[in-house]
Amino acid sequence: MVIPPNLPNFLDNTPAISSLSLYGLVRSEDQSDVAVKLPRHDALPLDLSEAQPTRIEREYYDYPSDYVPEPTPRPPSKRPKIGDNLHVSVSLGQRLGAGRCGIVYALDDVHVSGASALLPPLVAKIAWRHRAMELVREAWVYDELEYIQGVAVARCFGLFTLSLPASQTCTLWDDPRANREPSSPSAPAEYAGEFPLAHLRERHDIHELLLKFSDARNELVVLLLEHLEPADYSETYHENAVAVYKELAHMGVEAAADMGLRHLMRAPTKIPPGLPSLPSPFTGITHALRVVDLDMVVKTCSSVESLTELHNQWIVPFDLPWRSHFNCTS
């Protein structure tokens, strides 16, 4: 797979936020709210996640034409470098939803200081207490898909982390799901079906950063994203879903492990405050949908054709009575 040369800078309007101050998320021992300042996490390493299947595994597959010699290379980032002069302070707004690895809130009272920046409406995806690793890995997926942010996936404004002292706790961790240890081991998506975790660590060279967050239980992990509205299920939904998932195939990533209606949002229609949609560098299409919830997305050595075919198997046409199958992960 070849990334088109001379891609436009899709992040011209995406400033590098250096820190995020949140109010309404953390409280002290006396139950009073505490405003916390989360620094932006350092750039995540390129090799945080391994492309699947590996070169050795591909030698045993029956259909070698489904695979490419090397995974799609990540183009050089055009994101502005992280400085120390752009700070954003927010408070938690409406709860929008919760899933396997975290909970999503709209953000209110957004204030920018230190530099001028035009930000769209924002949401924060906050990791459950035992799912910090998954959200860190999802941030890596957004980095991997930088050139289709604002095209086929949501724009991401950074990963922010903070180790809470023993005297403080995250208010969201009062939810029983936040403290219930997962029935399956916390593992990178590419190895999520392997048990037990101790065996997984012995068998695979899992990145030390992922292992660190896998063991964390007092780490506040927040992913900052643009706020998108749920998509409407309409006559054109199937066509639009097929088209937007093909963009992921062009980037060499597979989303079939977790596809559902709730993972598709509507592209902004009111601009501003939303940021404008961008045409695809592969097809020239300006899409009506965006894919979100990327924690189960896997980088692959599969061809565009095989990935597109795989994704399309999970997207059911509008006029079929069993179309709710596409909602199986909701």
Per-residue pLDDT tens, the chain, 330 aa: give them: 555 654 444 455 556 889 999 998 999 988 888 899 999 998 899 888 877 764 444 444 555 567 777 788 888 887 777 666 789 999 999 999 988 889 999 999 999 887 667 789 999 999 998 889 999 999 999 999 999 999 999 999 999 999 999 899 898 887 766 555 555 555 666 666 555 556 566 666 788 898 889 888 899 999 999 999 998 777 577 889 999 999 999 999 999 888 877 889 999 988 888 998 999 999 999 999 999 999 989 898 888 998 998 888 888 654 444 344 444 333
Question: What region does 328 belong to: left with phi over 0, alpha with psi -120 to 50, or beta?
Answer: alpha
In a domain, 189, yes or no: yes
In a domain, 10, yes or no: no
Query: Which domain, by its residues, includes 137?
Result: 19-327
Q: What confidence score (pLDDT) does residue 210 get?
A: 87
Sheet architecture: strand order including 229-230? 229-230, 264-266, 289-291
Asked if 125 and 222 count as a contact pair (C-beta separation under 8 A), the reply is: yes
Determine the Cα–Cα distance for residues 139 and 40; give it in Å rounded to an integer. Answer: 12
Domain count, the chain: 1
249: which residues sit within 8 A by CB, 6+ positions away?
Answer: 304, 307, 308, 311
Q: What confidence score (pLDDT) does residue 272 get?
A: 85
Residue whose C-alpha is closest to residue 310's, from 262, 237, 258, 263: 258
Task: Identify the three-state secondary structure at position 93.
Answer: strand
250: which residues sit within 8 A by CB, 6+ positions away?
Answer: 1, 72, 148, 282, 283, 304
What DSSP string runs through 106-166? EEEEEEEESS------EEEEEE-TT-HHHHHHHHHHHHHTGGGBTTTB--EEEEEEEEPPT
DSSP structural state of residue 248:
H
β partners of residue 24 = none
The two tokens of residue 59 are 């030698």
**pTM as predicted:** 0.87
Q: What are the contacts of 107-114 at 24+ separation with CB within 8 A?
A: 107/227, 109/23, 112/86, 112/87, 112/88, 113/86, 113/87, 113/88, 113/89, 114/18, 114/85, 114/86, 114/87
Q: What is the pLDDT of residues 245-294, one digit of tens each?
A: 999 999 999 998 888 778 899 999 888 889 989 999 999 999 999 999 99
Angle, helices 208-215/132-144, rounded to nearest 10 degrees = 140
190: which residues sit within 8 A by CB, 6+ positions away?
Answer: 49, 50, 52, 298, 299
In a domain, 12, yes or no: no
In a domain, 123, yes or no: yes
In a domain, 6, yes or no: no
Q: What confidence score (pLDDT) does residue 329 get?
A: 38
Q: For the chain, give the number of residues.
A: 330
Neighbours of 65 (CB within 10 A): 9
In a domain, 9, yes or no: no
Residue whose C-alpha is closest to residue 171's, from 113, 225, 118, 124: 124
In a domain, 14, yes or no: no
Asked if 327 and 318 count as a contact pair (C-beta separation under 8 A), the reply is: no
